[in-house]
Structure 1
Amino acid sequence: MRLLIFFIFIFMPTTLFAQADLASSELNFAASELNHQPSGMNAYINQQGSAMTAEITQAGGAGLTAAINQLGSGNMANIQQYGSNDLALISQVGWGNEADIQQTGSGDFASIVQNGYYNRATVIQQGNNLSTKVVQNGTGMSIKVTRP
């Protein structure tokens, strides 16, 4: 199930990612590599609009996978994973959205999808085999999920 969700997220129709400028792609790749450690870990960042911030930090065991995709402008996303075999996905459409995923444990899955404007979502998972999905459609919504 995790691989299917990851596959769908990463290989969405290319129309979503068309017209990304090469300099942005290289900058995003460099940003993800700054905090990415080897040993079976994967990190992906794809941004299209302007004034966006994204950061992925991974440390711990093998099998960590993270992905951030932002299409609008002024969005901020952060993924921190300190464990093993964790999967985190963030996808934001619109502008002014903020999303954070923090996972410490093994076998965790977290997903945030925000469609709209000025939404805020945080998922904090501290444990093993936890799964959380947040979907917000609209404007000015806020949610924080903490799972020990």
Structure 2
Amino acid sequence: MKDRGRTNGAGLDFGVATRRRGRPRDLIRRDLWNRMETSSKRQTSATMVNMPKERRTFCKGKKCQKHTVHKITQYKAGKASKYAQGARRYNDKQKGFGGQTKPVFHKKAKTTKKVTLRMECKECKTKKQLPMKRTKHFELGEKKKSTGHQY
């Protein structure tokens, strides 16, 4: 066996000087990833979703147990509590000298968030949540924008 670089004595090559023919592996992976990304965009990505403000759907409330009209709003996360255990620990660790103590996350992968609908029954006021697909723009009950002049 020819000596192509460092070996471990058993004849196993660590691949320092070896090279495959053709395109490098990372370029092949990137090409496959780009193809996969564009095909998934064609199927699932919606740029604009317009939802009505009311919807007839099944109510699980103890009073109803039937299809009723629900009022739809978009779910929004509440403000994070500064008294939660993780926040208290983080703030204690950040005090004093020494700069940033925990890693700041930068490798964000997604460009959109999933929209969650919050539905409230108009009869018994029972609330339920329904997750939807990812979308860049979401509107509730707005009129469609018409093209051309508006007089």
Q: Tell me which interval the TM-score lies in, with the shorter structure as reference length.
A: under 0.3
Q: Which structure has the bigger radius of gyration?
A: 2
Please identify which structure carries the higher strand content: 1
TM-score (norm 1): 0.17
TM-score (norm 2): 0.16
Greater RCO, CA 8 A, separation 6+: 2
